[in-house]
């Protein structure tokens, strides 16, 4: 995370000056909050294409602690750290330096990140998130896919108290997990 100085909860945390500068450049209307549209103008994939508006809404919802539909500078600092961490992961597993993650690179990334997934799962994830059918994921697609797998893994672990790799789940519980993880 990009905080320096005091820990959150012990007074106002100091922010990285780079984060502050980026926040002010993104906050086009000078409201002190960033909307999904403003965030979209600031985020690009490795090929300089803009992130989709729906991804920006998703990221804002992950960090919007007061449910305003926008993020303030502290929430933005958390988002900034999140994006930079995922960019480092993306670059580490983009072994051929193409600016995209292939299916093999995705499987390697999942495995090394500690997700015990099969090649079939990786193929399915690639199919779902490879929106341009290029057999590779953009940085944005990689973030969306990784956020989903993290969310599903966390929800599974809640149901697998003994950490055996299997869980009992009712139909209704399964449907709630599925609906919560489907992006409109």
In which band, very low, low, confident or very high, does the pLDDT at 108 lie, cut at 50, 70 and 90?
very high
In which band, very low, low, confident or very high, does the pLDDT at 1 lie, cut at 50, 70 and 90?
very low
Q: Which of 32-36, 70-74, 120-124, 166-170 has the lowest mean pLDDT?
A: 166-170
Burial class (CB in 10 A: 0-12, 13-18, 19+), 6: exposed
Segment 45-103, tens digit of pLDDT = 766 778 888 888 888 888 888 888 899 999 999 888 888 888 899 999 998 899 899 99
The proportion of the chain whose per-residue pLDDT surpasses 90, expressed as a percent, equals 26
Note the pLDDT of residue 146: 85
* Residue 184 in domain: yes
Question: Do residues 139 and 155 both lie within one domain?
Answer: yes
Q: Which residues contact 57 (CB under 8 A, 6 or more apart)?
A: 36
Q: Is the pLDDT of residue 13 over 70?
A: no
Domain final residue pick, 44, 76, 93: 93
Note the pLDDT of residue 63: 85
Note the pLDDT of residue 92: 93
Q: Which two tokens stand for residue 29?
A: 């209307």
Question: Do residues 89 and 30 both lie within one domain?
Answer: yes
Closest CA to 72 of 11, 4, 20: 20
* Residue 105 in domain: yes
Q: Rounded mean pLDDT of 154-161? A: 84
Q: What is the DSSP string of 47-81?
A: TSPBPPHHHHHHHHHHH-TT-SSSB-HHHHHHHHH
Query: Residue 151 and residue 65: Cα distance in Å, rounded?
Result: 18
Where residue 60 sits, what CATH number does that domain have?
1.10.238.10
165 φ/ψ angles, rounded to the nearest 5 degrees? 90, 10
The residue behind tokens 């995209």 is 100
Q: Rounded mean pLDDT of 127-131? A: 89
Q: Rounded mean pLDDT of 128-155? A: 86
Mean predicted lDDT score pLDDT of the chain: 83
Number of domains in the chain: 2
Query: Residue 43 and residue 20: Cα distance in Å, rounded?
Result: 16
Closest CA to 112 of 90, 133, 96, 134: 90
Question: Do residues 79 and 130 both lie within one domain?
Answer: no
C-alpha separations of 184 from 2, 116, 173 in Å: 31, 27, 20
Note the pLDDT of residue 82: 86
In which band, very low, low, confident or very high, does the pLDDT at 171 lie, cut at 50, 70 and 90?
confident
3-state helix, strand, coil in the chain (%, to 5): 55, 5, 40
Query: Residue 71 and residue 32: Cα distance in Å, rounded?
Result: 9
Note the pLDDT of residue 150: 81
- Give the residue numbers spanning the domain of 42: 14-93
């Amino acid at each position: 995370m990009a905080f320096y100085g005091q820990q959150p909860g012990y007074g106002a945390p100091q922010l990285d000056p780079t984060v502050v500068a980026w926040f002010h450049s993104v906050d086009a209307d000078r409201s002190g909050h960033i909307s999904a549209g403003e965030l979209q103008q600031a985020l690009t994939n490795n090929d300089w294409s803009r992130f989709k508006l729906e991804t920006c809404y998703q990221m804002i919802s992950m960090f919007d602690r007061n449910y305003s539909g926008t993020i303030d500078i502290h929430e933005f600092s958390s988002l900034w750290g999140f994006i930079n961490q995922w960019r480092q992961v993306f670059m580490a597993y983009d072994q051929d330096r193409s600016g995209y993650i292939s299916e093999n690179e995705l499987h390697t990334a999942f495995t090394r990140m500690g997700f015990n997934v099969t090649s079939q799962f990786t193929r399915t994830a690639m199919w779902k998130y490879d929106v341009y059918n290029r057999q590779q994921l953009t940085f944005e697609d990689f973030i969306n896919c990784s956020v989903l797998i993290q969310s599903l893994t966390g929800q599974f672990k809640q149901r697998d108290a003994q950490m055996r790799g299997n869980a009992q789940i009712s139909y209704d519980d399964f449907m709630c997990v599925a609906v919560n993880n489907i992006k409109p």
